[in-house]
Amino acid sequence: MKKFFTVALTACMLLVSAACSSSPTTQTGAASSPTSQEGGKSEPSKSLVVYTSAASDVMNVVIPEFENKTGIKVEVITAGTGELLKRIEAEKEKPLGDVEWGGTVSVISPKQQLFETYKSENETAIIDSAKNAEGSITRNNVIPMVLLVNKKLVGDIKIEGYEDLLSPKLKGKIAFPDPSKSSTGLTHIANILQTVGAGDENKGWDYIKSLTKNLDGKLISSSAAVPKGVADGEYVVGITHEELASAAVRQGSPVEVVYMKEGVIVSPATVQIIKGAKNMDNAKKFVDFLTSKDLQALTATKLNMRASRGDVQAPTGLKPVTDFKIIKEDLNYELINNQKWLDKFKDVYTSN
């Protein structure tokens, strides 16, 4: 299996256009062609190019399992969901990727024209709240938004929710993913507006203004870099989601997961086939694989991922959904307002 690479955090990423020099990382070399010729006969492709924002330990379980079961070799390109969507759009006339794996529905849905219509062979087993209603967006697991705290650095600072992030002791020590590049960052904005704002967006944006001041000019360009920054001690607390946070816990980092006392959006993670994918059949196999009972049971056991299937038990070791306050995600509200929120966040952040 080809080695995975992590996206480096550099300030210059903010200046480089996605079409010319996107931040996703990949192994050197072009993707394999969809067929090979031998003796005049066309052979089925044994390659797949996956664009993903998934955590490295998730990929290290899922990708080898897929390769072993199918004989298909996977090339992985990693970045935040926003960066990957920009790349896919820039490449739409000549797609270089086959699958986009990661991102919430509210972020993927406005770009669904970039993806093929396809419903997994396992769609009937998916819970009602995670059905592929659009025809092109498959939900492969469900993820609560959370905070991740470094237990060695937090000291006497109490962190139970968003309100606590305004502590002066945390100035410059909060890892927040850029919502223009990370679906997690954008979903947390929605989470804040629906909890801290409590139906009053102005109140929610007043909080976000205070929060961005406490970021002290630091904004993370990739969702995956948030838990790393917290685990490495660069930040005391990170704004992230349960899948990435629990990965840091499993890796033995001195961190703990906090479910915001104000309320938690539980959002489905997604996988979709890039329109015009060269390795179309293999892309469909990958979507079917991610939604299979065997794989979702495996990831629940090994990775504590919450399945999108109704016939897979919740993972052990994670707080039951009955033990924290869930905020129902209003997808229509988010889809209507996502761009407005991105524009406003940019104005708020740059004015501090």
Read off the pLDDT of residues 39-78 as tens digits, 9 standing for 90 and up: 445 678 899 999 999 888 899 999 999 999 999 999 999 9
In DSSP terms, 309 is beta-bridged to 126
The verdict on 221 and 329 lying in the same domain is yes
How many residues belong to the chain?
Answer: 352
pLDDT tens column, 279-312: 999 999 999 999 999 999 999 988 888 899 989 9
Q: 131 and 217 in one domain?
A: no
What are the strands, taking DSSP E only, across 29-185? 35-38, 41-44, 47-52, 73-78, 99-104, 138-150, 174-175
Q: How many domains does the chain divide into?
A: 2
Is residue 6 situated within a structural domain?
A: no
**Quick check: is 227 in a domain?**
yes
Do residue 218 and residue 154 come from a single domain?
Answer: yes
Residue 28 clears pLDDT 90, i.e. is over it: no
202 and 337 in a single domain? The answer is yes
Q: Does residue 333 lie in a domain region?
A: yes
User: Minimum mean pLDDT among 18-27, 121-130, 168-177: which range?
Assistant: 18-27
Residue 324 confidence (pLDDT) above 90: no
pLDDT score, position 98: 98
Does the pLDDT value for residue 31 go beyond 90? no
Query: Does 160 lie in the same domain as 43?
Result: no
The answer to whether position 4 is within a domain reads no
Domain region containing 338: 143-265+324-351
pLDDT (tens digit, 9 = 90+) per residue, 119-144? 999 999 998 878 999 999 999 998 89
Report the chain's mean pLDDT, rounded to a whole number.
86
- Same-domain pairing of 242 and 342: yes
First to last CA, the chain: 45
SS3 77: strand
> How far is it, in rounded angstroms, from Cα 222 to Cα 42?
40
User: Is-contact 323 266, C-beta < 8 A?
Assistant: no
CB-CB neighbours of 310 under 10 Å: 11
Same domain (yes/no): 123, 149: no
The pLDDT value given to residue 42: 64
